[in-house]
Structure 1
Amino acid sequence: MGTRKFREIVQINYERAIEVIQTGDLLFCSGTYLISEFIKKASQSDMSHVAFLFKWNGRVLVFESVEQAGVRIIPLLHYVSNYDNSGKKYKGSLYIARHEKLIDSAFDEALLSPMLGKGIDSLNQQYAQAEIMRILTRIQLGIGQRKNQNEFICSEFVDQCFQQIGIQFARGEGDFIYPEHIAADQRVFPLFELVV
């Protein structure tokens, strides 16, 4: 389980985190929701969700694909204070990581434009109930591939976006990719755990 590298890393609060985060950083979640626990168990991982971050106009935004909404953009602040408009923080742990290609201080953020473009082009792709069940079956059985290029689970969405800048993550059997595959990648380095 490659996500062990995320254990016992430095914890920082949201105010400090937004100073350190850069566009292209990865957000990993270890949720305690029912679907999160299912994903963690099925993938034998600590991680249940992955997304990527970008900075815009003094804000940190999350590009992600979630079961109830498909591909969306939400403020990272919602994860720490108003997740799913509940008035509460996300139930679980939040980790920020960076791919080694994005660590170099000389890296030009303009090179991330194709990744952001892919994310924007994928916005608001909705899942039908049948698609959610098909995805859950794929996770449980670890087989099959997505049939529609516009329907993503979180790790497929992140992988597709990162491919736009020449980064491809390893996959499991059946060409399937979990958040674990991205977190375990040797080129992905944990930065900190985000705490409230």
Structure 2
Amino acid sequence: MKTKKFQGIVQVQYEQARQSIQTGDLLFCSGTYLISELIKKASNSFMSHVAFLFEWNGRVLVFESVESAGVRIIPLSHYVTNYNNTGRKYKGALYLARHETLIDSSFDRTLLQNMIGKAIGSLNRNYDQTELIRILTRISLGVGRHKENEAYICSEFVDQCFRQIGIRFPRTEAGFVYPEHIAADPHVYPMFEIVP
């Protein structure tokens, strides 16, 4: 897909990166974990995960849906120094991007409260294991369709939150949305790769 735009972009150390991050920025991961590699292979993707960031009391936090916990909030610093309480950084590359709507100076940033409200209202929702199975079935057998529910894979969660501010990301004909679709969206601009 069109995610080559992320390859070879400038690397910025985390402490410096924090100064550029705004609420609504997208965090893309290209992981090397087994599940990450399966997701990338199954969806023919460069990206294995997507989340969005927000600032709160001087901290940068990540809203995401993950297999082990469902929808959660964690500090971005955990990706850089203590991923899943291992004392190590996330295994893989971390990319920051911004949707053009959030770059536009005429965008009413108070609308971001709608997005944050949707995300907070979704906390502790389950990760959609069934959706993951449907995606794998669709890819491997060519059958199955997306079904809306209250459980989310990462890209579905981000898509639902961004809909609250009028942004819709591309989906497959069967209604699925992968991290790759969001990353490849022509309105999403890579900013930099975050490094420790």
TM-score tier, shorter chain, comes to: over 0.9
Q: How many residues are paired up?
A: 191
Partner residue in 2 for 1:4: 4
Offset of 1:173 from its aligned partner? 2.6
**Residue 75, structure 1, aligned to residue 71, structure 2:** no
Residue 104 of structure 1: how far off its partner (Å): 2.3
Task: Give 1:147 shift.
Answer: 4.5
The 8 Å contact of residues 27 and 96 in structure 1, kept in 2 or not, is answered as: yes
Taking only the aligned residue pairs, the percentage that are identical comes to 68
- Give the Cα separation in 2 of the matches to 1:178 and 1:189: 17
Residue 139 of structure 1 is matched in structure 2 by 135
Q: Deviations over 1:90-115 (max 9, x none)?
A: 00000000000001245343120100
Alignment check: 8 A CA contact 1:146 1:152 kept: no
Aligned equivalent of 2:172: 172
Q: Name the structure 2 match of 1:96.
A: 96
Q: Any idea what the Cα deviations from partners look like across 1:2-38, whole Å, max 9, x if unmatched? A: 1111001010011011000000000000001111001
Aligned equivalents of 2:56, 2:89: Cα separation in 1: 22
Q: 1: CA distance between counterparts of 2:58 and 2:164?
A: 25
Q: Name the CA distance, whole Å, in 2 between partners of 1:174 and 1:94.
A: 28
Structure 2: which amino acid aligns with 1:171? R
Q: Match of 1:120, SS? A: helix
Deviations 1:74-129 (A, max 9, x none): 000000000001111000000000000001245343120100000000001134xx
For residue 137 of structure 1, report the CA deviation from its aligned partner.
1.7
SS of 1:107's partner is: coil
1:75 aligned partner, one-letter code: P
Q: What is the match of residue 154 of structure 1? A: 154
Secondary structure of residue in 2 paired with 1:20: coil
Q: Structure 2: which 5+ residue stretches go unaligned?
A: 139-143
Is the CA contact 2:72–2:124 (under 8 Å) kept in the aligned structure 1? Answer: yes
After TM superposition, the score normalised by the length of structure 2 is 0.94
In 2, are the aligned partners of 1:96 and 1:190 still within 8 Å (CA)?
A: yes
Distance in 1 (alpha carbons) for counterparts of 2:132 and 2:161: 22
Per the normalisation by structure 1, the TM-score is 0.94
Indicate the residue corresponding to 2:141 in structure 1.
none
Instruction: Quote the RMSD (CA, aligned, Å).
Output: 1.2
Instruction: Provide the residue aligned with 1:14 in structure 2.
Output: 14
